Amino acid sequence: MDSSTTAVPVMMNSSSSSSSIDEVFNCGKYSANLNLVKVDSSDPPRPLLIWSPAAAGEFPVVIFLHGYLLQNSFYTQLLRHISSHGFVVVAPQLYSVAGPNANQDISATAEIIEWLSENLCNYLPENVRPNLKKLVLAGHSRGGKVAFALALGKSLSSPIKFSALIGVDPVDGMDKGQQTPPAVLTYAPNSMDLNGAPVLVIGSGLGDVRKNPFFPPCAPRGVNHKDFYNECCKPAHYFVAKDCGHLDVLDDETRGFRGRATYCLCKNGESRKPMRRFVGGVVVAFLRAYLEGDEESLVAIRRGYAKLPVVLQAVDSRV
């Protein structure tokens, strides 16, 4: 990683079209429909939230995995943002209560993907077709770890076929040497063999900072975004949002006991909106580049002439 990229300034290039580059940070041209799919004898292994564009067409599919002990509904604003740019987004609720072992999360997600291959069309608006040949694995926090584990084929009898991988502030445990099973990180640089699939890793600048003396940081050094990116092979992209917290990707308001806890456990930024908009925008830019061949917005973010909702602490790419 290029350590000289810390505290990256935001600059505009007058030769670039700001409106077309920066629109990824706002909701897209599609209205996004939400379908809540509950579990019964004929339905998926876990409850699902399915976001889809409200327009006829064929769209890539993003599987988004929630963070530890969080609700998939806490990501509504982020997932709506991504879907509005032309993506079907499927967010399972993997568990209500879970211990440190993530093997069941991996197995459950693999079962969900298998179920989607036969059934997803039945839960989408008429004339909306999912393109499962463009399947994206994505997740936040522990969900990011699970997405990487799926991509690497851990705990699976056969690997998941996917087109791109996204880790939003992924976390592999409490500390180096205290990884939760199955351990994903090996601490060997550029060692993750993903058969050439592109990877996006997004980090939070405050994720490794304690909120208070009673709780550890939510994304500790040694098992966080930096370590995941260090092991990625090219093509891979890395962005860290300065002054933003681990849970700042969530909705502006998260309710219930777990929702209230999200304000207390992790060091947060002043507002969730900037980080959430940045994550939504850079995910869309990344997927456009690698699934649609439109690199304009991703290149602008990498080179510092996009108008971003956050200040970047670090930027790096291997292409």
Q: Would you state the pLDDT for residue 71?
A: 97
Query: Residue 82 — φ and ψ, nearest 5°?
Result: -65, -45
Q: Would you state the pLDDT for residue 2?
A: 38
Q: For Cα atoms 30, 34, 35, give the angle at the middle one, nearest 5 degrees.
A: 140
**In one letter, which amino acid is 238?**
Y
Q: Would you state the pLDDT for residue 41?
A: 59
Mean pLDDT of the chain: 92
Q: Would you state the pLDDT for residue 55?
A: 95
Q: Would you state the pLDDT for residue 279?
A: 98
- The pLDDT tens digits of the residues spanning 22-60 come to 899 999 999 999 999 998 756 889 999 999 999 999 999
Exposed / middle / buried, residue 41 (Cβ in 10 Å: 0-12, 13-18, 19+): exposed
Category of 141 on φ-ψ map: left (φ > 0), alpha (ψ -120 to 50) or beta: left
From the list 283, 307, 252, 315, the residue with the least C-alpha distance to 81 is 283
Q: Would you state the pLDDT for residue 9?
A: 35
So which residues are the catalytic ones? 141, 169, 246
Q: Would you state the pLDDT for residue 98?
A: 87
- The pLDDT tens digits of the residues spanning 6-27 come to 333 333 333 344 567 889 999 9
C-alpha to C-alpha distance for 317 and 306, rounded to whole angstroms: 16
C-alpha to C-alpha distance for 319 and 298, rounded to whole angstroms: 12
C-alpha to C-alpha distance for 128 and 307, rounded to whole angstroms: 32
Q: What is the dihedral of CA 209, 215, 221, 226, to 10 degrees?
A: -70
Q: Would you state the pLDDT for residue 10?
A: 35
119: its two tokens: 């059934």
CB neighbour burial string for 16-38, b if at least 16 within 10 angstroms, e if fewer: beeeebbbbbebbebebbeeebe
Report the 10 Å Cβ neighbour count for 96.
Answer: 8
* Residues in the chain where the model's pLDDT stays below 50: 1-17
